[in-house]
Amino acid sequence: MTIRTRLTLWFAVVSVTALLVMAVGTYVEIAEQMHHHHHHGPDEHAVRETTEMILEAGLPAVLLGLAGGWWLMRRALAPVAKLTQAVEQIHAGNLSARLPHSGNGDELDRLTDVFNAMTARLDHSFQHIREFTLHASHELKTPLTILRGELETALHDPQATAAQKERLAGQIDEIERLAKIVDGLTLLTKADAGQIVLKSEPVRLDELVRECVGDTRILAQAQEIQVGLETCEEVTVAGDRHRLRQLLLALADNAVKYNQRQGRVNFSLQREGTCAVFKLANTGPGLPAELQARVFDRFFRGDASHDSAIDGCGLGLSIAQWIVTAHGGQIHFVSGLNAPTTVTVKLPWLA
Amino acid sequence: MERERTNAPAQRVLVVEDEKKTASLVRQALEAGGFDVEVCGRGDEALEAAIAQPFDGLVLDIMLPGRDGLSVLRQLRAQGNRTPVLLLSARGEVNERVAGLDAGADDYLPKPFVIAELVARVRALGRRGSEAKATVLRVADLTLDTIAHRAERGGQVFELTAREFRLLEFLMRSAGHICGRMSLIENVWDYDFDPGTNLVDVYVKRLREKIDDGFEPKLLQTVRGVGYLLKDAP
């Protein structure tokens, strides 16, 4: 129940009670006067008349009061509704925005001040976290470079045995993986902070898709996965060529990695209304519905999280989502138990 | 790594890197590769040194005390200094690479880099521009005609996709030098990011099946943990 309804109801109860008290009081008063004059019971007729009078005059007054109260309440609470709307607009991405001040110097202004101070503190904390991640990834790179260099030098030591070399090479692989994770984190942190400026030039999306299909065929060969291109309509979007290629390859790589032997990967690109719609379906095992919403989360790897045969840093889809959003598009992931897993990307196309 | 035997005077390289361990690692590797190396840890001092004396190449980190690498590079180029520069960056970001090349860098290597590749790229810095681009490339009995778009070995012509052709051309142009995965990704695929796939390895494997299966000697070698190498003699 809203404050407004509750207060109005209370107001109604109070008014009606007052009316009743008034009626009872009047009744008692009349009864006493009758008693003094005639020494017998109250005149039924006079009592009914008086009660009717009170109700006829009182009820409209109460109703008018209620309507007025409802209206007053709305006036009084309007700034609260406005404030609520403004607060609803706040999310991690626009913490630097401030709520508007009414300038009345009332309680609500004070509340607005408190809210603004709170978002300012949150904004500060978020910035701290971002800076921390950026610094952390930068600091990690130096020891990784040194470690890599030293392992590499050891690897080329003519006295090292084959078994030692194998171990060293394995360690270098792990360092490369770490470096990839650090790169991905740096990229996403910079994107969060709005530090990455994307180009906006006309890009033939169909050409990028064809190129990606070629690379995917090669990637899919080892697992005998068939790669198909259903439709590929000519469509130009405004965007950053490099990032769009990165997007397609990240999705294609995912579709191959989380597939089964002799499975299928299907590409399609179509124009629908004002959008270029890119779809990528694969015959992977799929994800249960409760996990699907999390596929774009950083480091989410579904059931494969403990499967070291599938390598990857767990940031591919997060990066894909960022690229799509930064291009003003949408990305969806749908997976069914017996249906293909499909990723759909919609990007506004350039006429 | 063996010191290359050559009668020409050793090339002088200035390494500008503030992180001492990285700097000494680079110095050792370059010296083993036959270069004379000087190390400097500050941007402003590096700029003075590069202006005061001629170097054959500069290995320049971006994040530096005193003056950042990009600003050193811009200042050098603004003064007409054409010393070839290899930029190092801890960030490995698209924007960074583009900014570096725009500022006048000849090459760019993101950290963590492959030391062997760094040496190969520094060596390539000197050659850059001085050699006209050959149109017919030869390694042993393998030839690649970049104009006729034809690759053959021992009289057998190979069917190559456009991407395989570019890969082979790049490997042949850097014949004898190790090519790291990242440099193949950048030069053959034009990706400014690490795609996080084994795309390069799969392509190299296919290419090797075409050009090496049934032929001796094997030309395309894998350098474990580093990258690939196309060369004639074992």
Please report the DSSP string for A196-236 in residue order.
-PPP-EEEEHHHHHHHHHHHHHHHHGGGT-EEEEEEE---E
For the record, the structure tokens of B190 come out as 């034009």
Same structural domain, B122 and B140: no
CA dihedral sign of residues A101, A103, A105, A107: negative
Q: Please tell me the distance in Å from A204's CA to the nearest CA on chain B.
A: 16
Task: Look at residue B131 and tell me whether its pLDDT is greater than 60.
Answer: no
Same structural domain, B94 and B169: no
Same structural domain, B76 and B168: no
Burial of B82 (0-12, 13-18, 19+ CB in 10 A): exposed
| Cα angle value A292/A298/A302 (rounded, 5°) | 40
Same structural domain, A257 and A216: yes
Same structural domain, A181 and A215: no
Whether residue A152 and residue B195 make contact (CB cut-off 8 A), yes or no, is no
Residue range B128-154: mean pLDDT, rounded: 80
Residue B109, helix vs strand vs coil: strand
Residue A261, in any domain of the structure: yes
Distance between CA atoms of A291 and A340, rounded to whole angstroms? Answer: 16
Q: Is pTM beyond 0.90 here?
A: no
Name every chain B residue with its beta carbon within 8 A of the beta carbon of A153.
25, 28-29, 115
Same structural domain, B82 and B164: no
Whether residue B111 and residue A180 make contact (CB cut-off 8 A), yes or no, is no
Beta strand pairing call for A226-232 and A201-204: unpaired
DSSP annotation of A311: -
Distance between CA atoms of A62 and A93, rounded to whole angstroms? Answer: 50
Residue B94 has its nearest CB partner, among A153, A184, A242, at A242
Whether residue B198 and residue A165 make contact (CB cut-off 8 A), yes or no, is no
| Cα angle value B52/B111/A309 (rounded, 5°) | 165
Of A190, A211, A129, A317, nearest to B94 by C-alpha is A190
Domain CATH for A214:
3.30.565.10
Whether residue A149 and residue B29 make contact (CB cut-off 8 A), yes or no, is yes
Name every chain B residue with its beta carbon within 8 A of the beta carbon of A248.
none
Residue B7, in any domain of the structure: no
| ipTM for the predicted complex | 0.71
More confident residue, B226 or A348: A348
**Alpha-helical runs (H) found in chain A:** 3-38, 44-88, 107-155, 162-192, 205-220, 241-257, 289-292, 316-326
Same structural domain, A238 and A264: yes
Name every chain A residue with its beta carbon within 8 A of the beta carbon of B90.
138, 141-142, 145
Name every chain B residue with its beta carbon within 8 A of the beta carbon of A216.
none
Per residue of chain A (351 residues), what is the pLDDT tens digit? Answer: 777 788 888 888 888 888 888 888 887 887 788 777 765 555 677 777 877 877 788 888 888 888 888 888 888 888 888 888 888 888 877 888 788 877 777 888 888 888 889 989 998 998 888 888 888 887 888 888 888 888 888 887 888 888 988 888 888 888 888 888 888 888 888 888 888 888 899 999 999 999 999 889 988 988 899 999 989 999 999 999 989 999 999 999 889 988 888 999 999 999 998 899 999 999 988 788 888 888 888 888 766 554 555 566 788 899 999 999 999 999 999 987 778 899 999 999 886
Name every chain B residue with its beta carbon within 8 A of the beta carbon of A136.
none
Same structural domain, A167 and A210: no
Same structural domain, A184 and A303: no
Q: What is the residue whose two structure tokens read 């009592």?
A: A47
Q: Which of B93, B127, B161 is the last residue of a domain?
A: B127
Residue A117, in any domain of the structure: no
Q: Please tell me the distance in Å from B73's CA to the nearest CA on chain A.
A: 22
Same structural domain, B114 and B141: no
Domain CATH for B40:
3.40.50.2300
Same structural domain, B117 and B143: no
Distance between CA atoms of B156 and B170, rounded to whole angstroms? Answer: 21
Residues in chain A: 351
For the record, the structure tokens of A348 come out as 């506004």
Whether residue B112 and residue A145 make contact (CB cut-off 8 A), yes or no, is yes
Whether residue B112 and residue A179 make contact (CB cut-off 8 A), yes or no, is yes
Beta strands in chain B (DSSP E): 12-16, 36-40, 57-61, 85-89, 107-110, 136-139, 142-145, 150-153, 156-157, 179-180, 220-223, 227-230
Distance between CA atoms of A4 and A77, rounded to whole angstroms? Answer: 8
Residue A325, helix vs strand vs coil: helix
Q: Which candidate in A135, A148, A168 is best for mutational testing of the B interface (most B CBs within 10 A)?
A: A148
Q: Please tell me the distance in Å from B23's CA to the nearest CA on chain A.
A: 9
CB A167 within 8 A of CB A151: no
Of B83, B85, B109, nearest to B96 by C-alpha is B109
The number of folded domains in chain B is 2
CA dihedral sign of residues B155, B156, B162, B163: negative
Residue range B204-232: mean pLDDT, rounded: 88
Whether residue A214 and residue B194 make contact (CB cut-off 8 A), yes or no, is no
Q: Which of B69, B101, B127 is the last residue of a domain?
A: B127
CB B8 within 8 A of CB B36: no
Window 68-127 of B, Cβ < 8 Å to A:
90-95, 111-116
More confident residue, A48 or B185: B185
The number of folded domains in chain A is 3
Distance between CA atoms of A17 and B149, rounded to whole angstroms? Answer: 100
B19 touches chain A (CB under 8 A): yes
Q: Which candidate in A218, A219, A265, A318 is best for mutational testing of the B interface (most B CBs within 10 A)?
A: A218
Residues in chain B: 234
Domain extent for A43? 3-88
Name every chain A residue with its beta carbon within 8 A of the beta carbon of B198.
219
Whether residue A156 and residue B225 make contact (CB cut-off 8 A), yes or no, is no
Nearest residue in B to A245, CA atom: B191
Residue type, B206: R
CA dihedral sign of residues A119, A122, A126, A131: positive
Burial of A249 (0-12, 13-18, 19+ CB in 10 A): buried
| Cα angle value A282/A246/B170 (rounded, 5°) | 110
CB B204 within 8 A of CB B228: yes
Same structural domain, A143 and A63: no
CB A30 within 8 A of CB A96: no
Domain extent for B103? 12-127
| Cα angle value A192/B199/A202 (rounded, 5°) | 55
| Cα angle value B56/B58/B63 (rounded, 5°) | 175
For the record, the structure tokens of B20 come out as 């001492």
Q: Which candidate in B102, B193, B194 is best for mutational testing of the A interface (most A CBs within 10 A)?
A: B193
Distance between CA atoms of B103 and B80, rounded to whole angstroms? Answer: 13
Same structural domain, A162 and A211: no
Contacts of A136 (CB under 8 A, 6+ apart): none
Residue A303, in any domain of the structure: yes
Same structural domain, A174 and A263: no
Whether residue B93 and residue A142 make contact (CB cut-off 8 A), yes or no, is no
Dihedral angle, C-alpha A255, A261, A264, A267, nearest 10 °: 30
Task: Look at residue B5 and tell me whether its pLDDT is greater than 50.
Answer: no
Name every chain B residue with its beta carbon within 8 A of the beta carbon of A312.
196
Q: Please tell me the distance in Å from B193's CA to the nearest CA on chain A.
A: 8
Of A104, A134, A98, nearest to A119 by C-alpha is A98
State residue B4's pLDDT score.
45
Name every chain A residue with its beta carbon within 8 A of the beta carbon of B18.
none
Residue A138 has its nearest CB partner, among B29, B90, B225, at B90
Distance between CA atoms of A316 and A256, rounded to whole angstroms? Answer: 13
Same structural domain, A237 and A333: yes
Residue A114, in any domain of the structure: no
Residue B164, in any domain of the structure: yes
Residue A146 has its nearest CB partner, among B22, B195, B202, at B22
Same structural domain, B89 and B144: no
